Amino acid sequence: MVAAMGGLLFGYDIGISGGVTSMESFLKKFFPSVLEKQKDEAAHESEYCKFDSQLLTLFTSSLYFAALVASFFAAAVTRTFGRKPSMFIGGLVFLIGSILNGVAMNVGLLIIGRLLLGVGVGFANQSVPVYLSEMAPAKIRGALNIGFQMAATIGILAAGLINYGTAKIEGGWGWRLSLALAAIPAIMMVIGAVLLPDTAVAKRMLQRVRGTQDVDDEFQDLVDASEAAKKVEHPWRNILEKRYRPQLALCTLIPFFQQLTGINVIMFYAPVLFKTLGFGDDASLMSAVITGLVNVLATVVSIFSVDRFGRRVLLLEGGAQMIISQVAVGIMVALKFGVNGEGTLSKTDANLLVFLICVYVAAFAWSWGPSGWLVPTEICPLEIRSAGQAINVSVNMLFTFFIAQTFLSLLCHMKFGLFFFFAVFVITMTVFIHLFLPETKNVPIEEMNRVC
Ligand code: BGC
């Protein structure tokens, strides 16, 4: 649970920026031109383009760019010093970033704060999922690793609720509170890192975790594996070796596909998207809370089924469900707003739209959400694990950055077609899983080469 706190920090960031960027007082202070454009109906040719601004998306996306860069340093720190220092540094940098964001007086400070938060996320996402997969007995590795994703979804929901509350603060400084409260998960992570045992120094710990003295065989396996890993000097060169092609392919494609589901359109921009589609301020922030709640609840489903039914079943079912709901949303937006983006939603339409989006979020939350962090950490043998995870984190962050930066302008140009665009990717990835993903449930992490 303590290690999974890293997920909280990740999730809080994902959930907080969309709500903040839909708050008028925030836009007025940092992005007055966006606010003017939004108010001046004549200035934007269609509803689809209401919020289109590269500077505004930079506020959201800059964090993921920093996380991308940081994950490479984090890999070296994790390999050399262990998971704990990595989590500690991540939490600390994140703490400074959240303070800067809370007191920011201009866009520059705001973005520097976001970059520091990104460094924190890079470190946390590198170390936490690996730590969890290594700690867990094979039979419940899926469930324990999903602790990370579970915490991320709780962070997203908490951010949605906080935005809903702070938007109502008179005086227009609510967004400061929203941004500064990121300090709470950061402090939890710093304290957590100090209290955690490290996987590198492990026999006593292993006995404590397993609740038995009889851990010699398993311990020996770990020692052998780690000796072998120490002999290997170049994890980066190794992962490029031919025998690790499957791992390299999976560590690259899984995060790519995870982001190309389009999930972060909802996670980052739900309030903005709902406002674009004509929802009021309150309704927009409330919708983010609803999707956030569905996200948390559906993640619980994956915790209970991932070690029973396996990763493949969840990914295939989740993929199919996402395709259906995305196509339905695309058709609905097309019918209501057409190509020129003029139209309104009735109350029934709006409810149906929120429902369809919830069906989509639920599917992601029990499939690609958790598996995107679970599978890459468990399929890599120790000698390439930190390199594999660095690739996973950086590819994930690269495409998170890409979606965060381009979504508002993609929506403006591709209109309802954007939903079909993502559906095509989900079809591709579902076929990919069907053809290429080995089932890893219940396979001890040291014996993964049996299946990969
Ligand atoms: C993804 C995030 C996403 C979140 C939603 C995570 O697994 O990496 O990009 O926002 O799930 O719950």
| Residues 156-198 pLDDT 10s | 999 999 999 999 999 999 999 999 999 998 998 888 888 876 6
Residue 201 has pLDDT above 70, yes or no: no
Tokens 């390299």, residue? 248
**What DSSP character marks residue 438?**
P
302 vs 237, more confident: 302
The values of phi and psi at residue 106, to 5°, are -145, 170
pLDDT digits (tens, 9 = 90+) for 98-157: 999 999 999 999 999 999 999 999 988 988 888 888 878 899 999 999 999 999 999 999
Q: Is 146 left (phi over 0), alpha (psi -120 to 50) or beta?
A: alpha
Residue 229 has pLDDT above 60, yes or no: no
Contact partners, residue 108, CB within 8 Å, separation at least 6: none
Cβ pair 51, 194 in contact under 8 A = no
The values of phi and psi at residue 9, to 5°, are -65, -40
CA 364 to chain centroid: 11
| Averaged pLDDT, 289-294 | 94
Residue 221 has pLDDT above 80, yes or no: no
108 vs 75, more confident: 108
Of all protein residues, the one whose alpha carbon is nearest to atom 9 of ligand 1 is 264
Residue 75 has pLDDT above 60, yes or no: yes
pLDDT of the residue at 350: 87
Sign of CA dihedral 143, 378, 246, 252: positive
- Please provide the DSSP assignment of 118-163 as one string: HHHHHHHHHHHHHHHHHHS-GGGHHHHHHHHHHHHHHHHHHHHHHH
Q: How many CB atoms lie within 10 A of CB 206?
A: 17
Cβ pair 298, 359 in contact under 8 A = no
The encoded tokens of residue 162 equal 């906080």
Give the number of the atom of ligand 1 that is nearest the alpha carbon of residue 370: 7
CA dihedral 268, 419, 407, 346 (to 10 degrees): -70
280 vs 319, more confident: 319
Cβ pair 77, 123 in contact under 8 A = yes
The model's pTM is 0.89
Pocket-forming residues, ligand 1, beta carbon under 6 Å: 14, 149, 152-153, 156, 258, 263-264, 267, 295, 369, 372-373, 396, 400
Helix (H) or strand (E) holding 70: helix 54-81
Q: What is the mean pLDDT of the chain?
A: 89
Tokens 């951010």, residue? 159
CA 4/CA 152 separation, integer angstroms? 8
Percent of the chain surpassing pLDDT 90: 57
| Averaged pLDDT, 341-351 | 86
401 vs 228, more confident: 401
pLDDT of the residue at 416: 92
Give the number of the atom of ligand 1 that is nearest the alpha carbon of residue 369: 7
171: amino acid identity, one letter: G
Find, among 167, 136, 156, 192, the residue nearest to 6 by Cα. Answer: 192
Query: Which of 325-329, 375-379, 400-404, 446-450 shows the lowest per-residue confidence on average (mean pLDDT)?
Result: 446-450
pLDDT of the residue at 180: 96
pLDDT of the residue at 3: 61
pLDDT of the residue at 301: 97
CA 30/CA 21 separation, integer angstroms? 10
| Averaged pLDDT, 332-357 | 89
The values of phi and psi at residue 129, to 5°, are -60, -35
Give the number of the atom of ligand 1 that is nearest the alpha carbon of residue 268: 10
Q: How far is the CA of 124 from the centre of ligand 1 (A)?
A: 14
Tokens 């406002």, residue? 275
pLDDT of the residue at 340: 85
Tokens 């609720």, residue? 161
Angle of helix 382-414 relative to helix 368-379, nearest 10 degrees, comes to 150
Give the number of the atom of ligand 1 that is nearest the alpha carbon of residue 14: 10
Could you give the count of Cα atoms lying within 13 Å of 51 in the half-sphere of its Cβ?
26
pLDDT digits (tens, 9 = 90+) for 78-94: 777 777 787 788 889 99
CA 116/CA 204 separation, integer angstroms? 36
Cβ pair 248, 240 in contact under 8 A = yes
264: amino acid identity, one letter: N
pLDDT of the residue at 232: 59
Query: Which of 188-192, 224-228, 288-292 shows the lowest per-residue confidence on average (mean pLDDT)?
Result: 224-228
Q: How far is the CA of 18 from the centre of ligand 1 (A)?
A: 14
